[in-house]
Structure 1
Amino acid sequence: MTIEWRYTVEENLGVLSVAGYLGPEAVHRFTGAVGWVLARGTSPVVVDLTELRSWSAEGQLAIVEAAHRLAAGGRSLELAAIPADGSLVPDGDCPPIPVHPDLATARAAHRAGDDGQAEGRHEWRTTGWPDGERPDNAS
């Protein structure tokens, strides 16, 4: 089982939404999504886990690695709506990873519009993203 992802660049925030199960088989795909994020923005990144069913220890380590990669690029990583079955426990040298109860709260922390319709918004996603729509720039 793998994940689907969508990355949206809003006015002053990037949102990487992840759906499915972030387990050992999905880590490579998540790592690729983080590479996509690194190449397409300069703002802080919220990883929205609203549609994530669950994550494994390997999936949690992939989140920690993403925080390191983003920090090396001068960007921060935050989480929104972590799965109810666990919490992220980063190692001691991990950059801080703020956790928000939901995406609306994360957006409010950055004063991004809750509707996500900011002017200049761009979006990329995998073809299997749950909403069923397929934009021209899907990967």
Structure 2
Amino acid sequence: MTIDWRYTVEENLGILSVAGFLGPDAVHRFTGAVGWALARGTGPVIVDLTELRSWSTEGQVAIAEAARRLTEAGRSLELAAIPADGSLVPTGDGPPIPVHADLAAALAAHGAGIGEHVEGRHEWRTTGWPDEDQAGE
């Protein structure tokens, strides 16, 4: 199993939405998505886990490594809507990772709102990510 992702550049932040299972087989793809986010946009990256079914210890370590990479680039990583068990394996040697109850709370913490039109907004996604037009069909 792997993940699908969508990266959206908003004003002064990025949203990396992840769907599927973030396990050992998906770590490489997640790392690539983080690299995509590093190359585009500015400010913090909110990793939206609303569509994530679950994650393994390896997946959680990949998130901690992503936080480290972003910090080295002068950016930060925040999590929104972590999986139901609420666990996050801390590595103890990385930057702090703020956790928000959901994406709306994460955006509110930055003065942004869901669905607001943002001038210059850009979005990229894997081919497996559902189109908004098809969502809910």
TM-score by length of 1: 0.91
Answering whether residue 57 of structure 2 is matched by residue 57 of structure 1, we say: yes
Question: Alignment RMSD, CA only?
Answer: 1.5
Higher fraction of strand? 2
Deviation readout 1:64-112 (Å, 9 max, x if unpaired): 0000000000000000000012411322221010000000010010011
Check whether the contact 2:43–2:75 (CA below 8 A) recurs between aligned residues. Answer: yes
Matching residue of 2:81: 81
Matching residue of 1:20: 20
Number of residue pairs aligned between Structure 1 and Structure 2: 134
Greater Cα offset, 68-77 or 125-134: 125-134
Matching residue of 2:111: 111
SS in 2 for 1:51: strand
Q: Which whole-Å CA distance do the structure 2 matches of 1:71 and 1:90 have between them?
A: 16
Q: Please report how far the alpha carbon of residue 117 of structure 1 lies from its aligned counterpart in structure 2 after TM superposition.
A: 2.3
SS in 1 for 2:19: strand
Output the amino acid matched with 2:78.
Answer: E
Matching residue of 2:120: 120
Check whether the contact 1:20–1:54 (CA below 8 A) recurs between aligned residues. Answer: yes
Listed as ranges, the gaps of 5+ residues in structure 1 are 135-139
Identical aligned residues as a percent: 79
Greater Cα offset, 86-95 or 62-71: 86-95
Q: Which whole-Å CA distance do the structure 1 matches of 2:88 and 2:60 have between them?
A: 6
For residues 14-53 of structure 1, what are the structure 2 equivalents within 5 Å? 14-53=14-53
Matching residue of 1:95: 95
Check whether the contact 1:6–1:123 (CA below 8 A) recurs between aligned residues. Answer: yes
Q: Please report how far the alpha carbon of residue 114 of structure 1 lies from its aligned counterpart in structure 2 after TM superposition.
A: 2.1
SS in 1 for 2:50: coil
TM-score by length of 2: 0.92
Instruction: List structure 1 runs of 4+ shifted beyond 3 angstroms.
Output: 131-134
Matching residue of 1:129: 129
Q: Which whole-Å CA distance do the structure 2 matches of 1:46 and 1:99 have between them?
A: 9
Output the amino acid matched with 2:7.
Answer: Y
